[in-house]
Amino acid sequence: MTSASRPFADLFWRRPYALLLLSPLFWAGNLLIGRAYGSEVPPFGLAFSRRIVALAFLLPFVWDDLRASGKDMRKHWPVIVGCGLTGFAGYPVLNYIALHSTPAATASMLNSTLPLMVPLLAWGVAGEVPSVRTIAGIAISFVGVGIIVSRGDWSVLSSFSVGFGEIIMLIAVACFALYCTLLRYRPAALPDKLFLFATMAASALALLPFALWETAIGRAFPVQPHALASLLLIGLFASLIANVFWTQCVVTLWPTLTGASFHLMAVYASVLAYVLLGESIRLFHLAGITLILTGFAVAILPPRIARSEVAEAIRRS
């Protein structure tokens, strides 16, 4: 990294507003791959395999820390296991169970309650009090998600009812919201990359029985070029890089503000589906995207980056 670019990189990493845009993008790409190959790729096998890919990418970078920090990992195992089970195992597994009895539109709407649920858990667990502006922005973007999910026809959501699948879906979302809150308690004694490695390893162990069950019933992960290429992309970007960025945002910007960016997935998914899958962009997409972006802007603006820091970064560049 050159001396000219270092101030900007340091500025974005310490106050990573730009990173808020990237994790939802990578996760939207994951959804797109799932939509394209969902009938071919077993969900538990994919969830387990993507963790293994991410762990393989991380291992060379954490090997020395892994050997040196074994005592600290054992000391802080409750937080490690808690994050692994809630964010990397519980959320996808419960999602899969819920989708068996929950309509797609209802499932999407319930998933979009994450930014609303994060402030509740962050307040109850960590004592974080969200600002009125952040809550207002989340509410505006939530309406935008509703427009996209309902395809502009609110009667689609009028049939919403609370059954077993809906309850499981809400528990799944609560798991990920709890994961976002627990990240605030990650042990300072462990390097960030080692903590991520440990939580992913814990989730992989939890997902292994489900992946083996899928294989036993004849739904093994397909060894085909497109499936393996998709797995590498998902493992690197959706499982590894997205979570590195998300963790940094949660730690520096707090869970509530970071959770507000989750609604951007609906924006990215619509645009990527248009560009890559040829799906049409309709008026309800544009209306929903406009509300989501407006809500996101309300939630994070004005930036908390001090003007003096920006001026100094520009001067030094």
- Interatomic CA distance for residues 14 and 2, integer angstroms: 18
Cis before 115? omega within 30 = no
Tens digit of each residue's pLDDT, the chain (317 residues): 555 555 556 557 777 888 888 998 998 887 777 666 666 778 788 889 999 999 999 999 999 998 888 889 999 999 999 999 999 998 888 877 776 676 655 666 777 888 888 888 888 877 777 888 888 988 999 898 888 877 787 776 666 666 787 888 889 889 999 998 898 888 988 998 999 999 999 999 999 999 999 999 998 888 888 888 888 998 999 899 999 999 888 888 888 888 888 888 888 888 888 888 787 888 888 898 899 889 888 887 754 444 444 444 444 44
* 1 found inside a domain: no
Six-digit token pair at 205? 């162990």
Query: 């919201």: which residue's tokens?
Result: 177
Give the number of other CB atoms < 10 A from CB of residue 271: 16
What DSSP designation does 261 have? Answer: G
Total number of domains constituting the chain = 1
pTM: 0.79
Residue 276 counted as domain residue? yes
Residue 187 identity (one-letter amino acid)? P
Closest CA to 110 of 144, 136, 159, 149: 149
Structural domain including 287 reads: 6-316
Joined together, the tokens standing for residue 62 give: 């954490």
Cα torsion 156, 158, 163, 167: sign: positive
Ramachandran area for residue 127 (φ above 0: left; ψ -120 to 50: alpha; else beta): left
